[in-house]
Amino acid sequence: YTFLTISGCPPQWDGITCWPQGSPNQLVSVACPEHIYDFNHKGFAHRKCGSSGMWLQVPGVNRTWANYSECVTLVSPGRRAQEKEVFERLRLIYTVGYSVSLATLLIALCILCYFKRLHCTRNYIHIHLFTSFICRAGSIFLKDAVLYSREDEGILKDEIGEIALPKASEFQWVGCKVTVTLFLYFLATNHYWILVEGLYLHSLIFMAYLSDRSYFWALTIIGWGLPAVFVSVWASVRVSLADTQCWDLSAGHMKWIYQTPILAATLVNFFLFLNIVRVLASKLWETTTGKLDPRQQYGKLLKSTLVLMPLFGVHYVVFMAIPYTEVTGLLWQIQMHYEMFFNSSQGFFVAIIYCFCNGEVQAEVRKFWFRRNLSLDLKQKSRMTSTGGSCHYGGVLSHTTNSVCLSMAARGKPLPLPVHSTSYLPGYFSSAAPSDHNPLQVTNCRENTELTCGADIHP
C-alpha cells in the first residue's frame, strides 16, 4: 500500500471561489470567479498558505484571509457614504410601502373571506392575488431580516479590498439561500396572479369563457404552479454551478431563468391592458357622443385608465428596457425610487380598487354594521324593558301573537302596538315590499365587468 500525504494547505471552497492546494509560504492566486457578475473577471484573488500548512487567518478573528481587491471596484469613503445613504432611503421607501400594503391587504382579505355572499370565482381570484401580495411583502421583510442580520458575520473589507471570509461550512448559508429562493418564488407568483387577473378580466369582456368556476383550477395552476417550476430550475442550476455564500449575489446570466418568464407575464399583461383601454375608448365614444364634450370624454377615459394601471402592473414596463447603470447615477436613482415606490404600494392600490371601492363589498359591510347596531339596540331596549317589569321580551317580536311589546320604563306601563306596527320599527322592512334603501336586501356576487371606481367601477 502506498500512503499519500498531502503537505501544505488543502483545497477549499470559501463560498466565493474554489482554492487549489497551496504549498507552505506560497501566495496562491486564482482568477476572479465568472459566476459573480459584478466582479472584474480580468483580475485575480490571492490567498496565503502559512508555514504550518494552514491557510493564513486574520489575527483576532476566526476567519481566513483573502485579497479580492482586483475583483471588486474600489470606491472612495465619500462615495461609499453616498451609496449607503441612497440604499437606506430606498429601504425606507419600500419598507413603509410594503407595510401599508400589507395592512390594507390583510383587511381586504378578511373581508372577502368572511362574507359568504362575496364568494364567487371573481373574488376567489382576488383572494389569491391578495395572498400573493402578502407573501411577497412578507418574504421581503424576511429576506431583509436574514441579510441584514448577517452583515457583521459576512465579508469584512478594508479600504484596499482585503477580505476576511468565515470558514466554509456546508450548512452555514442554507437559511439565507432558502430565504432568497422563497423571495423569488413569491415575486414570480405575484406577477403571475396579476396576469391571471388580467386574463380573467379580458375574458369577461371579450370571450366570457373563464366565467365558469371549472376554469378556476387552471388559473390556480398558472398562478402558483408555473412560478414553482422555473424557480426550482433556477435553484437547481444555481446550486450546481454557482453555489456562492448567499444567493443574493448576482450569478450573471442565470437570473434569466426566472426573469424571462416574469418579463413575459408582464408584457402579456401590458398588451391585455392596451386592448381593454382600446375597447373602453370605443365604447365611451359610442355611448357619449353628443352627450359629453371631448374634454369630459377624455377625462372619463383617463380615470378608467389610471384605475387599470396598478391592476395590470403597467408600471413594470416603464424601465423594463433600460439596463441598470452606476449606483450613484441620476438615471439609476430615478429608476430605483420609481420602482421601490410603485412596487411596494401596488398592493395598497389593488386592495382599494378590488375591495374597498367594490359596491358589493360596501353593501355587505353596511349590512353587517346595520345588523350589529340593530342587535345592540334591541339588547339595550330589552334590558330597559325587563327592568320595568311589564314586558319580559322587550322589543323582540313575539312569534305567537305577532305583536311587539315596548315598555316605557319611566312609567312602568307597557305600550301596546297594533299588529302591523312592526313596519315602523327602526330598520324593519317588509319582505313583501323591499325598499331600495334596505341594507338587508340580498345581492348576489355578480361577475360584473364594470371598469370604474366608486360609482363608476366595480372590478
Can you give the pLDDT at residue 434? 41
Beta strand 44-48 pairing with 27-31 = antiparallel
Cβ atoms within 10 Å, residue 209 = 9
**Which triple of cell numbers denotes residue 46?**
490571492
Mean of all residue pLDDT scores within the chain: 76
Can you give the pLDDT at residue 408? 37
Read off the DSSP letter of residue 76: -
Q: Which residues are registered as beta bridge partners of 45?
A: 30
Can you give the pLDDT at residue 66? 86
User: What is the per-residue pLDDT across 42-83, written as a single tens digit (0 to 9) for each?
Assistant: 888 899 898 888 888 877 666 788 888 888 765 556 666 777
Question: Of residues 125 and 384, which shows the higher confidence score?
Answer: 125
Read off the DSSP letter of residue 9: B
Confidence at 443, pLDDT banded by 50, 70, 90: very low
Q: Which long-range contacts (CB under 8 A, 24 or more apart) does 416-425 make?
A: 422/397, 425/395
User: What is the per-residue pLDDT across 156-212, written as a single tens digit (0 to 9) for each?
Assistant: 444 334 554 554 455 557 888 899 999 999 999 999 999 999 998 888 887 755 556
Give the Cα separation of 448 and 456 in Å (integer).
Answer: 12
Worst-scoring range by mean pLDDT, 46-55, 334-343, 445-454?
445-454
Can you give the pLDDT at residue 412? 43
Question: Of residues 278 and 149, which shows the higher confidence score?
Answer: 278
At 260, the amino acid letter reads T
Worst-scoring range by mean pLDDT, 3-17, 53-67, 274-288, 378-392?
378-392
Mean pLDDT in residue range 236-250: 79
Would the pLDDT of 439 be above 50? no
Highest CATH level, class, for 77-151+170-357: mainly alpha
Worst-scoring range by mean pLDDT, 117-121, 130-134, 199-203, 419-423?
419-423
Distant-in-sequence, close-in-space partners of 428: CB < 8 Å, separation ≥ 6: 422
Distant-in-sequence, close-in-space partners of 236: CB < 8 Å, separation ≥ 6: none
Give the Cα separation of 279 and 283 in Å (integer).
Answer: 6
SS3 (DSSP) at 18 = strand
Can you give the pLDDT at residue 130? 97
Cβ atoms within 10 Å, residue 324 = 11
At 459, the amino acid letter reads P
**Which triple of cell numbers denotes residue 75?**
470606491
CATH topology of domain 1-73: Hormone receptor fold (4.10.1240)
User: What is the per-residue pLDDT across 305-337, written as a single tens digit (0 to 9) for each?
Assistant: 888 888 899 989 888 776 665 555 788 888 889
Confidence at 40, pLDDT banded by 50, 70, 90: confident
Can you give the pLDDT at residue 303? 83
Place of cell 391592476: 311
Cβ atoms within 10 Å, residue 454 = 13
Classify each residue of 224-246 as buried b or exposed e, where b means 16 or more C-beta atoms within 10 Å of its C-beta: bebbeebbeebbeebeeebebbb
Question: Of residues 111 and 443, which shows the higher confidence score?
Answer: 111
Q: Which long-range contacts (CB under 8 A, 24 or more apart) does 334-343 make?
A: 336/86, 336/90, 337/89, 337/90, 337/93, 339/315, 340/90, 340/93, 340/94, 340/97, 341/93, 341/94, 341/97, 342/310, 342/315, 343/94, 343/97, 343/315
Distant-in-sequence, close-in-space partners of 364: CB < 8 Å, separation ≥ 6: 111, 115, 117, 118
Confidence at 453, pLDDT banded by 50, 70, 90: very low
- CA distances 187 to 131, 263, 335, Å, are 12, 12, 19
Number of H helices, E strands in the chain: 9, 9
Would the pLDDT of 233 be above 90? yes
Can you give the pLDDT at residue 150? 59
Confidence at 393, pLDDT banded by 50, 70, 90: very low
* Domain boundaries, given as residue ranges, for the chain: 1-73, 77-151+170-357, 363-424
- CA distances 120 to 11, 129, 143, 202, 354, Å, are 61, 14, 34, 17, 14
Would the pLDDT of 94 be above 70? yes
At 409, the amino acid letter reads A
pTM of model > 0.85: no
Mean pLDDT in residue range 340-364: 92
Can you give the pLDDT at residue 290? 61
Give the Cα separation of 378 and 371 in Å (integer).
Answer: 10
Worst-scoring range by mean pLDDT, 106-120, 154-168, 295-309?
154-168
- Percent of the chain's residues with pLDDT above 70: 69
